Amino acid sequence: MVGLYLNPPQNAVVVCVDEKSQVQALERTQPILPMRPGIPERQTHDYARHGTTTLFAALDVATGQVTDACYPKHRHQEFLKFLKKVAAAYPDAGLHVVCDNYATRKHAEVKAWLAKNPRITLHFTPTSCSWLNLECFFSVITRQAIRRGSFTSVKELISAIGAFIDSWNDHPRPFTWTKDADTILDSINRAKTKANVLTDH
């Protein structure tokens, strides 16, 4: 897994795929009051709720480019639909997809499609190591586009998400590991050991 990030196969693309489910279209009950000299931006904490969407995203580890889609649900059908979209975005390369162990990834329909498309390989993050899937992009879009927004509909929320990702892709920036492979692997092994100890007790 770590080797895929730090030393990917030649002529191959490595992407991290995940979804952010239950993204709510929240409309603030009062307008945001802009920042003024000596006064910070102020916003109400009361919302009207207008439904939810699930954001699927694939982050190209080498370039920072993001492929995205929003679907009403996050079942295996939506995961497979998104996987096909990611595959179409990289038609001429071996594609290595890093994802978590959520059951939708291992559904029979997904396995059957992968068997017919051998250039695409799924790699599953170890248990308790979801941070290996570069979830930092979801953190960025949540802070900068979703949490501070006010949306009167799911359609408006999806439009805002799309606009943010379009802007991101105009100037993509890959996330850089700040630790070497040995340090990362030590962290994984410590997490596994801790999980085993908790299970034994």
- Model confidence pLDDT, tens digit, residues 78-98: 999 999 999 999 998 899 999
Please report which confidence band the pLDDT of residue 107 belongs to, taking 50, 70 and 90 as the band edges: very high
Question: For residue 25, is it within any domain?
Answer: yes
Q: Give the model confidence (pLDDT) of 120-170 as tens digits.
A: 999 988 766 665 666 678 889 998 888 878 899 999 999 999 999 999 999
Report if residue 140 sits inside a domain.
yes
Q: pTM of the entire structure?
A: 0.79
Residues 6+ positions from 42 with CB-CB distance below 8 Å: 32, 33
Q: Supply the CATH number for residue 23's domain.
A: 3.30.420.10
Per-residue pLDDT at 126: 74
Angle at 25 between CA 23 and CA 30, to 5 degrees: 135
Cβ–Cβ under 8 Å, residues 99 and 133: yes
- Assigned domain for 194 exists: no
Residue 159 lies in a domain: yes
Establish if 183 belongs to a structural domain. Answer: no
Q: How many domains does the chain have?
A: 1
Q: Domain range holding 57?
A: 2-176
Q: Is residue 47 part of a domain?
A: yes
138 inside domain: yes
Q: Which residue in the block uniquely carries the two structure tokens 């693309």?
A: 13
Distance CA 114, CA 91 (A): 14
DSSP H helices, the chain, are 2-6, 76-89, 108-116, 136-141, 154-170, 181-200
